[in-house]
């Protein structure tokens, strides 16, 4: 037996050693799912499976790299290099390049990022003269994106009157036309957006059986991490590719499904057994990541969800300190508390900055935290947010590079045709655009043929356009032989980009030049790295693809020591010794936008579960009493999730005098006077605690029945549609009759005459009412 196999427990070893067939590993956080995938790949290779025949799909490219490094240690570097590992998007972008011509795309197609896509949509809305307050481009974009991820093409859209009706109901009757125009413009520009990378892969595998066969034969063994967050489009790709050999291993945790809002479909996990023959189901129960306190606290939260697979998670690790909950006055205080606590922990326990993570629900929350960390001189890195590649000056350089690779790339062209200024104005651009639409050609092609078209563009402007096109063409020729660095270096010099910034002379201008230098350094590194690989040569096209699909996480080389700041969504799959979860307030976490239905609330709760289970040694939860939101200082309420953590695993910090704490006297929804600060300190006892030690065999047998707990038919409490005359039940006041309803939406209230409490005016959003008749 290979020695690394000994680094697995019995339950983990089983799916690693089952070489063939379909298998699913369902298990809670930190139980070694990702480790199973990694070791399984190493094992397959030791059994003679060629690395070229293994496809492994991960949530980030960084995760893929880490797995590869681990595998390389076991099987050797040269073999591990040939593995196909990466995100769905990066793997299938590669395949699409090989096969692009079949779909009518150039193999050098551009990948439009979200900004590019939204910019195309904005100009369509403008060109169609639609009201931009009704047709909000971001909303339109996400609508189109969700169609694509459900494989609803333009044709399918128009064949399905229900979709059109739904959009009409949402006051966007022309959404289908926008969708159609968007698809046409992208196609004309030789561009695919992120969603196309999946949609077009599906199209490719469906329409061309010989292509499907080729990749089925190639990827004889397929592995998928974080399977709970695959969307329909991804699901179908995996299904098609694995259909022939059925050697597929997926791992996931339904309790960590947090992308339903982007189309992830939990049924992919629930139905896996139906999709393949002789599916082996494996469970892992022992958590190796966290202390008992953290594991048990996390169990006590997820227990509150009605839709879930029953699972056991226990740990043999130490008890560890309790979870610390602290209330602060403002977000500034919150930042100072977190920075101070990190500082103290570092001093007391001799830790590195990299041992800490600060997790939040929304990117906007990072600012106050950053201020505090800077004051304490604690180095940090923000993941997500505005990435390096989205900075203006970087996008400018990249636009030139994209354009020389794919001259049809309309978004790139618009960005740089008159930057630095070349005297090509908006009127000229409009004329070119109109001609482009009329002839179904790209602007670049229109300019190339400008002498044959009657566009009423002056001779002098035509010369300027000519010069621009010739410059780009000269770069294209250079790129045929030179590597990415040489090309990029030439472009920044010849286009006048750097000179323009030098002229500017302001500190911002200088910072921008430094960023461009940084980009060039990055390209140089990339070229050196790629030259070592068998199937790459450091070309510009390869670099651009890398950039288009890079997330901030991917750039993290981990070689400098910083505190990590990120949204919880980004933290999935990661682990840190110390984790601070900040902003635990109603309407922020759970998000005010996700409380309309029980399923949305449950997704927020899973998000909280993900956050807490990132922690190895200790977790901190913080909330504030008031917070600036949308420019207003509002009273914040502690998140319901804080109360949901079984109190035996929690330490509440008593506010110190220097917090300038003022008790907030308020009336609650029952009309009683309450001191809000005390509200959360007296908590009712919770139900049976989850197992702190390995549960008994009989308990395990009960819990192991891996069937979905049926969601209770009772409606989410804010879903209840009450009418005057209805009878309801309240936990405290007993039965009551609805006398009147007032307010709308979030403010909807009901006046109810209760058996035990008399007449009460209750905010329906909060009142725990059961509908009786």
Q: Binding of ligand ATP at residue 308 (CB under 6 A)?
A: no
Neighbours of 531 (CB within 10 A): 11
Is 614 one of the catalytic residues? yes
Q: Where is the binding site for ATP, in residues?
A: 27-34
Q: Is 616 helix (H, G, I), strand (E, B) or coil?
A: strand
At which residue do the structure tokens 């909000």 appear?
A: 136
Q: Is 357 helix (H, G, I), strand (E, B) or coil?
A: strand
| Closest of 60, 118, 86, 88 to residue 199, by C-alpha | 88
At which residue do the structure tokens 């286009």 appear?
A: 495
Q: Binding of ligand ATP at residue 289 (CB under 6 A)?
A: yes
- The one segment of 23-31, 301-309, 539-547, 548-556 that binds ligand ATP by CB under 6 A: 23-31
Pick 436 or 573: Cβ nearer ligand ATP: 573
Residues 13-72 touching Mg ion, rule: CB under 5 A, are 33-34
- Taking the complex as a whole, the smallest distance from the CB of residue 256 to Mg ion amounts, in Å, to 9
Residue 86 bridge partners (DSSP) = 57
- Taking the complex as a whole, the smallest distance from the CB of residue 8 to ligand ATP amounts, in Å, to 5
Judge contact between 226 and 252, C-beta under 8 A.
Answer: yes
Report the sign of the C-alpha dihedral through residues 259, 261, 265, 269, in that order: positive
Q: Binding of Mg ion at residue 287 (CB under 5 A)?
A: no
Which of the choices ligand ATP, Mg ion, none does residue 538 contact, using the CB cut-off of 5 to 8 A by kind?
none
Q: Binding of ligand ATP at residue 31 (CB under 6 A)?
A: yes
| Closest of 39, 78, 92, 82 to residue 223, by C-alpha | 39
Judge contact between 198 and 92, C-beta under 8 A.
Answer: yes
- The one segment of 26-34, 233-241, 315-323, 484-492 that binds ligand ATP by CB under 6 A: 26-34
- Taking the complex as a whole, the smallest distance from the CB of residue 403 to Mg ion amounts, in Å, to 39
Is 408 one of the catalytic residues? no
The binder of ligand ATP chosen from 573, 577, 638, 736 (CB under 6 A): 573
Q: Binding of Mg ion at residue 573 (CB under 5 A)?
A: yes
| Dist. CA 235–CA 277, nearest whole Å | 17
Is 256 one of the catalytic residues? yes
Q: Binding of ligand ATP at residue 228 (CB under 6 A)?
A: no
Pick 34 or 365: Cβ nearer ligand ATP: 34
Pick 176 or 573: Cβ nearer ligand ATP: 573
Question: Could you tell me the two tokens for 260?
Answer: 């339903």
Task: Using CA atoms of 99, 103, 106, 109 in order, give the dihedral in degrees to the nearest 10.
Answer: -90
Which positions from 515 to 554 touch Mg ion by CB under 5 A, shown as an x/- string?
----------------------------------------
Pick 32 or 335: Cβ nearer ligand ATP: 32
Please state, in angstroms and as integers, the Cα–Cα distance from residue 62 to each residue in 38, 253, 536, 549, 555, following that order.
14, 20, 19, 12, 8
Q: Is 15 helix (H, G, I), strand (E, B) or coil?
A: helix
Q: Environment class of residue 600 by beta-carbon count within 10 Å: exposed (0-12), middle (13-18) or buried (19+)?
A: middle
Q: Binding of ligand ATP at residue 185 (CB under 6 A)?
A: no
Which of the choices ligand ATP, Mg ion, none does residue 288 contact, using the CB cut-off of 5 to 8 A by kind?
ligand ATP
Cis peptide before 420 (omega within 30 of 0): yes
Is 411 one of the catalytic residues? no
Q: Binding of ligand ATP at residue 245 (CB under 6 A)?
A: no
- The one segment of 15-23, 24-32, 186-194, 420-428 that binds ligand ATP by CB under 6 A: 24-32
Q: Binding of ligand ATP at residue 35 (CB under 6 A)?
A: yes
| Dist. CA 32–CA 316, nearest whole Å | 14
| Dist. CA 647–CA 642, nearest whole Å | 9
Which of the choices Mg ion, ligand ATP, none does residue 405 contact, using the CB cut-off of 5 to 8 A by kind?
none
Judge contact between 376 and 339, C-beta under 8 A.
Answer: yes
Active-site residues, by number, are 33-34, 225-226, 256, 614
- Which residues in this chain contact ligand ATP in the complex, by CB under 6 A? 7-9, 12, 27, 29-35, 253, 256, 288-289, 573, 575, 613
- Which residues in this chain contact Mg ion in the complex, by CB under 5 A? 33-34, 573
């Amino acid at each position: 037996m290979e020695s690394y196999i000994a680094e697995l427990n019995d339950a983990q070893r089983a799916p690693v050693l089952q070489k063939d067939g379909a298998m699913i590993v369902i298990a809670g956080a930190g139980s070694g799912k990702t480790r199973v995938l990694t070791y399984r790949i190493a094992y397959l290779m030791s059994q003679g499976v060629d690395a070229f025949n293994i496809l492994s799909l991960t949530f980030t490219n960084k995760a893929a790299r880490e797995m590869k490094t681990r595998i390389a240690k076991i099987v050797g570097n040269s073999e591990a290099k040939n593995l196909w590992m990466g995100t769905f998007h990066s793997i299938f972008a590669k395949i699409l390049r090989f096969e692009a011509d079949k779909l009518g795309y150039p193999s050098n197609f551009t990948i439009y990022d979200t900004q590019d896509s939204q910019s195309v949509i904005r100009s369509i809305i403008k060109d169609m003269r639609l009201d931009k307050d009704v047709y909000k481009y971001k909303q339109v974009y996400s609508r189109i994106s969700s169609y694509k991820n459900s494989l609803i093409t333009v044709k399918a859209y128009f064949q399905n009157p229900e979709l059109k009706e739904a959009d009409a109901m949402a006051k966007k009757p022309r959404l289908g036309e926008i969708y159609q125009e968007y698809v046409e413009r992208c196609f004309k520009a030789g561009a695919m957006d992120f969603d196309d990378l999946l949609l077009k892969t599906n199209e490719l595998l469906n329409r061309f059986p010989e292509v499907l066969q080729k990749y089925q034969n190639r990827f004889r063994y397929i592995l998928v991490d974080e399977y709970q967050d695959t969307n329909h489009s991804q699901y179908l790709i995996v299904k098609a590719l694995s259909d022939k050999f059925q050697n597929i291993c997926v791992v996931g945790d339904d309790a960590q499904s947090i992308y339903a809002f982007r189309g992830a479909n939990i049924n992919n996990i629930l139905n896996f057994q139906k999709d393949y023959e002789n599916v082996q189901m494996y469970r892992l129960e022992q958590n190796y990541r966290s202390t008992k306190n953290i594991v048990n606290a996390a169990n006590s939260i997820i227990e509150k969800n009605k839709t879930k697979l029953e699972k056991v998670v226990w740990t043999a690790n130490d008890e560890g300190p309790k979870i610390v909950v602290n209330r602060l006055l403002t977000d500034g205080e919150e930042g100072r508390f977190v920075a101070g606590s990190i500082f103290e922990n570092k001093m007391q326990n001799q830790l590195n900055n990299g041992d800490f993570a600060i997790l939040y629900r929304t990117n906007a929350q990072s600012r106050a935290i950053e201020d505090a960390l800077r004051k304490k001189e604690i180095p940090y890195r923000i993941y997500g947010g505005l990435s390096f590649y989205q900075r203006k000056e970087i996008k400018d350089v990249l636009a030139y590079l994209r354009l020389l690779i794919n001259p049809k790339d309309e978004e790139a062209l618009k960005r740089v045709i008159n930057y630095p200024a070349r005297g090509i104005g908006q009127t000229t651009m409009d004329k070119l655009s109109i001609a482009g639409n009329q002839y179904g050609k790209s602007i670049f092609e229109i300019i190339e043929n400008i002498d044959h078209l009657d566009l009423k563009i002056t001779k002098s402007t035509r010369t300027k356009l000519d010069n621009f096109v010739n410059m780009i063409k000269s770069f294209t020729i250079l790129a045929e032989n030179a590597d990415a660095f040489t090309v990029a270096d030439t472009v920044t010099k010849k286009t006048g980009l750097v000179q323009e910034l030098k002229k500017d002379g302001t500190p911002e201008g200088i910072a921008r030049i430094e960023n461009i230098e940084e980009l060039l350094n990055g390209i140089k590194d990339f070229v050196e790295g790629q030259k070592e690989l068998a199937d790459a040569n450091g070309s510009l096209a390869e670099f651009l693809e890398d950039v288009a699909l890079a997330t901030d996480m991917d750039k993290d080389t981990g070689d400098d020591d910083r505190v990590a700041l990120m949204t919880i969504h980004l933290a999935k799959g990661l682990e840190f010794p110390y984790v601070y979860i900040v902003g635990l307030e109603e309407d922020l976490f759970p998000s005010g936008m996700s409380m309309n239905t029980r399923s949305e609330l449950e997704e927020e709760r899973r998000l909280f579960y993900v956050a807490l289970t990132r922690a190895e040694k200790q977790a901190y939860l913080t909330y504030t009493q008031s917070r600036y939101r949308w420019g207003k200082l509002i009273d914040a309420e502690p998140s319901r999730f804080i109360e949901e953590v079984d109190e035996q695993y929690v330490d509440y910090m008593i506010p110190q005098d220097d917090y300038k704490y003022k008790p907030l006297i308020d009336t609650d929804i029952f009309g009683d006077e309450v001191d809000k600060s005390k509200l959360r300190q007296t908590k009712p006892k919770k139900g049976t605690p989850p197992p702190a030690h390995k549960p008994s065999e009989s308990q395990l047998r009960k819990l192991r029945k891996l069937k979905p707990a049926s969601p209770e038919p009772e409606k989410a409490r804010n879903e209840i549609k009450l009418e005057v005359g209805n009878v309801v039940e309240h936990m405290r006041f007993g039965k009551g009759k609805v006398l009147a309803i007032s307010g709308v939406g979030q403010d909807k209230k009901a006046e109810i005459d209760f058996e035990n409490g008399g007449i009460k005016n209750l905010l329906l959003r909060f009142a725990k009412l059961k509908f009786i008749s």
